[in-house]
Amino acid sequence: MIRTTSFSLHPHKKMKSLFLKDIELSSLSDILSRMSQSQGNGSSSYALLSADRIISFSQIEAAANMALLRNPTSYNSARDTVICVAGTTNPDAAVRDFLVNKEKILQESNDKMNVILIGFDCEDRELLQIIGAFSKFIKDFSEIKLLHVREEDFQSKMIKTYKLTREEVAVFGLEECVVHRIATKFLL
């Protein structure tokens, strides 16, 4: 269930995305290795996002749009998207909280993670090559919302991460507030 996103203002760019649920950490190390090999072979850029703070696919789309608006000629649109999805101007905090890398895997206390693989300017087959035999973990993006249903403190985490107010969330809803914050954070 690869999702393709096209950008009206940047018709030469496209983003492909996959949601992988309950994937073992050792499998993530393999995926990261294949990602780095693929990035070295062409003009595609990839990133692996932790799904812990992703409320919906709209959040990723808004971040990708902002990344392209900020720097349309960037080679590393995927990494720029990670920074924008975090809704912060601090790239170190964005990478620490949202990007899955070998260091984050080593620090993880669970044995499984939920992740989102994004790739810019790549084809479906390239994304599938990166995940290799782990395609059984691919889930529909609608399941992201189900990840956080049981978490009592998820809303509090999101309010703190995106510097929202409880009043905003009460009026517009958490998802809309997060997407709005991402879409307006980097405007001058």
CATH number for 3-185 (one of 1.10.357.10, 3.40.50.150, 3.30.2380.10, 3.90.70.10): it is 3.30.2380.10
Q: What is the pLDDT of residue 62?
A: 92
CA 54, CA 47: separation in Å to the nearest integer? 14
CA 43, CA 122: separation in Å to the nearest integer? 8
The pLDDT value recorded for residue 188 is 47
Torsion angle in degrees (nearest 10) through CA of 184, 186, 187, 188: 140
pLDDT string in tens for the chain (188-residue length): 899 999 888 888 999 999 999 999 888 888 998 888 877 555 678 999 999 889 999 999 999 999 998 887 777 888 889 999 988 778 888 888 899 888 888 887 788 899 999 999 899 999 999 998 888 899 998 888 888 766 778 888 899 989 999 999 999 999 999 999 998 876 64
Domain spans of the chain? Answer: 3-185
Pull the structure tokens for residue 68. Answer: 């392209």
Tokens 């994304």 identify what position?
Answer: 127
Nearest alpha-carbon partner for 16 in 76, 69, 78: 78
Report whether 59 contacts 178 (CB < 8 A): yes
